[in-house]
Structure 1
Amino acid sequence: MLGAIIGDIVGSPYEFDQSAPKAGFTLFAEECSYTDDTICTVAIADAILRMRPYQESLLDWCHRYPNPMNGYGNMYHSWLQEKNPLPQSSFGNGAAMRVSPIGWLFDDFHDVLRESKRCTEVSHCHSEGIRGAQCIATLVYWLRTCRITKDEIEHAVKSRFGYDIPPLKDIYRIGSQGHFDSTCQETVPWAIRCFLESESFEDAIRIAVGAGGDTDTKAAICGSIAEAYYEVPEELIEQAYEYLPSDMLRVIDRFYDHVGRRIDS
C-alpha cells in the first residue's frame, strides 16, 4: 500500500510536464503531494478492513478530498458527481493504481481475482480496466506469497493477462517526446517494465517517474509491485507520512497491523 502512495507522491509534480525529470531528481520535493491515486488506494484498504462496499468507501473518501493535486480523471470525476453512480465503461489506469491492498489482504488467488474485479467494476466496468486491476493485484499477491522471480514475471503476465511488456528504452524514448497516456493498456505493462529493470524500491520509483507521461500513476503502480519484492526504506516511509492527513494515516497503520508488517514512523 505504501509502495503505491510513495510512488504517487514522488511522481505528482511531473504528471503534466512535457519532459521527464532529470536523473537524480529530489524524491520528496516541496511541490509534491498525494493525489487521487493515494485517496483511492486508502479507500480500497478502508473498505476491506471495515467490510464496507467498495463504492461506498470510494465515494466517501473522494468526496472527503474533492480537490486533490492534479484532480480526478474526467470520467471518474463525472462518476463522483452522480447522485446514484453507475459503472462506466472506463479503461483508465485508475483501475490499477488503487488495488494493491487487495494483493495483501486476501490470501487466496481466486479471492484476489474476484475482489480486484469487484472493486474495479464499480467505476471502471470495462474489460481492459478489470484486466489491469487484476494483473497488478495478482502480481502483488504472487510476489508476497509465491516469491515469483523477475525472470518469471514477464512470461506469467503474458500468459495469464495477455500483456506484452515493452523494452525500457522504448518507454523512455516515447516518454521523452511528451507522450501522455492514462489507459490501463499502456500504463500497466510500462509500470511492470520499470519494476523489472530496478535494483531497489527507490530505483523502481525513480525509473517509473523518469519515464515521463502519467508519472504519479505509473510510479504508484510500479511502487505497488516493488513493495511486495523489496524492503521499503524507513526514511522514505517517514517522508511520505509527512504529506498525509491523519485519517489516511490511521487507515495505513491499521492496514499494516493487519498484514503483519510493522512500520515504525
Structure 2
Amino acid sequence: MALIGAILGDICGSQYELRRPHNLDWKNCELFTDKCKYTDDTVLSIATGMWLLNETNKEPWEFYLEYGKKYSGVGYGEMFEDWLFDGGNRVNESFGNGCAMRISPITMYFRDAFPMLAEYNDYIGIAQKTCEKTHNSIESYKGVSVVTNCSLMALNNRSKDVIYDYVLKHYPSSRYTYGVDRPLDDYRKNYVWSATVQDSVPVAIRCFLESEDYESFLRNVLSLPCDTDTIAAIGGGIAEDFYKKTLDNSNELLERYLPKELLDDVSKIYNEMP
C-alpha cells in the first residue's frame, strides 16, 4: 500500500529526469528500461518507513541522515546534500519537492485507524514531522499534509471527486501557477520544469485524477516536461492506494532495480507495519 507505488514511480520516471525527449511517445513507450534506476526518492521513502517501525525515540531526520549517507550518489538535491555533509546539524528552510516524495509509508501506518470523517488533522502532525530538519517551510508542511491525506482518502475508497474537492481548497490555480484545477492537456503545453513542492504536488495529483489505473498514471507523468521521478513518486502512492494495486510484475521490477538491502527493508516495512 503506497510505498511500492512510490518506488515504481521513482524508478520509471528516473530515465527521463532532466532528459525527457520532446517527442516522447508517452502513450506507448516502454515504462521500465535499462536506463531506469532507483533514486533518492526510493531511499528516503524507505527511510520513512523504517522510522515508523522504530521503537526508539529517534527522529525521522536521523533516518534520513543514516540512509542518505549509506546510499550516496542517488540524486539528492543540493540543499539536502549540504545537509548530509553538515551531519544534519542545520535546519533547511527548503520548499523543494523532496519532502513530498518520501512520505508514502505514513498511509500504511495509519491504514486501520482512518476515521470515517472529513477531517484529517490527526495525521498531519506525523507527516509534518518529516519536514522539520530538511524542509522547514510552510509550503512543505502543506505539501506533505495534502499528499498524506489524499492517500488516506484513496485507501479508504473516497471518490476522485471528493479527493479533487479537497485538493482544490489547497491548490487552486487562482493562487498557484499549477493548480489542481488545470487539466493535463494544459500542463502538457505550458508546464515548466520545477523542483518546488508547490509546483509538484498538485501536478502529481492531477496525473492521478486523470488516470484509469496505475499504468495510465505513470504515462500521464511521462507526458509532462516535469521532474518525472519525483512527480511519479508523489502521485504513485496515491494511485496505488486508490486502485489497490500497481503493476502485475511489480515484484519482478523491484528485484530488478533494487539492491538486496533495500528489498529487505521494503519487505520489513510491509510485514511489520502496525
Query: Given the two structures, how large is their TM-score scaled by the length of structure 2?
Result: 0.87
Aligned to 2:235: 222
Which stretches in structure 1 are left out of the alignment for 5+ residues? 261-265
Indicate whether 1:4 and 2:6 are aligned: yes
Which stretches in structure 2 are left out of the alignment for 5+ residues? 115-119, 173-178
Structure-to-structure mapping, 1:146-165, within 5 angstroms: 147-159=157-169, 161-163=170-172, 164-165=179-180
1:105 Cα deviation after fit: 0.5
1:74 Cα deviation after fit: 1.1
> Letter of the aligned partner of 2:220 in structure 1?
I
Out of 13, 26, 33, the residue aligned to residue 37 of structure 2 is 33
Cα distance in 2, alignment partners of residues 240 and 173 from structure 1: 33
Aligned to 2:78: 74
Out of 194, 200, 205, the residue aligned to residue 213 of structure 2 is 200
1 or 2, which has the higher helix percentage? 1
Contact 2:214 2:239 in 1 (8 A): yes
Cα distance in 1, alignment partners of residues 242 and 252 from structure 2: 20
SS in structure 1 opposite 2:242?
coil
Cα distance in 2, alignment partners of residues 85 and 31 from structure 1: 35
Query: Given the two structures, how large is their TM-score scaled by the length of structure 1?
Result: 0.90
Out of 189, 197, 212, the residue aligned to residue 202 of structure 2 is 189
**1:106-137 deviations in whole A, cap 9, x for unaligned?**
23543421110001122000000111111111
- How many pairs align? 253
Contact 1:15 1:216 in 2 (8 A): yes
Contact 2:208 2:235 in 1 (8 A): yes
Cα distance in 2, alignment partners of residues 244 and 202 from structure 1: 20
Structure-to-structure mapping, 1:75-94, within 5 angstroms: 75-94=79-98
> Letter of the aligned partner of 1:180 in structure 2?
W
Q: Which moved more, 1:183-192 or 1:226-235?
A: 226-235
Aligned to 1:100: 104
1:31 Cα deviation after fit: 1.1
1:150 Cα deviation after fit: 0.6
Q: Which moved more, 1:108-117 or 1:93-102?
A: 108-117
Aligned to 1:248: 262
Identity of counterpart residues, as a percentage? 34
Indicate whether 1:239 and 2:253 are aligned: yes
Indicate whether 1:64 and 2:70 are aligned: yes
Structure-to-structure mapping, 1:39-58, within 5 angstroms: 39-51=43-55, 52-58=58-64
1:144 Cα deviation after fit: 1.2
> Letter of the aligned partner of 1:243 in structure 2?
Y
Contact 2:153 2:163 in 1 (8 A): no
Out of 5, 16, 19, the residue aligned to residue 17 of structure 1 is 19
> Letter of the aligned partner of 1:181 in structure 2?
S
> Letter of the aligned partner of 2:68 in structure 1?
C
Structure-to-structure mapping, 1:100-119, within 5 angstroms: 100-106=104-110, 107-108=113-114, 109-119=120-130
RMSD of aligned Cα (Å) = 1.6
Cα distance in 2, alignment partners of residues 53 and 25 from structure 1: 41
SS in structure 2 opposite 1:228?
helix
Structure-to-structure mapping, 1:127-138, within 5 angstroms: 127-138=138-149
> Letter of the aligned partner of 1:240 in structure 2?
L
**1:50-72 deviations in whole A, cap 9, x for unaligned?**
2442011101111001111xx21
Q: Which moved more, 1:210-219 or 1:234-243?
A: 234-243
Aligned to 1:140: 151
1:84 Cα deviation after fit: 4.3
> Letter of the aligned partner of 2:187 in structure 1?
I
Contact 1:190 1:218 in 2 (8 A): yes
> Letter of the aligned partner of 1:169 in structure 2?
D
Contact 1:6 1:237 in 2 (8 A): no
Q: Which moved more, 1:234-243 or 1:84-93?
A: 234-243
> Using a 3 Å threshold, how does the CA distance of structure 1 residues 18 and 55 change in structure 2: closer, same or farther?
same
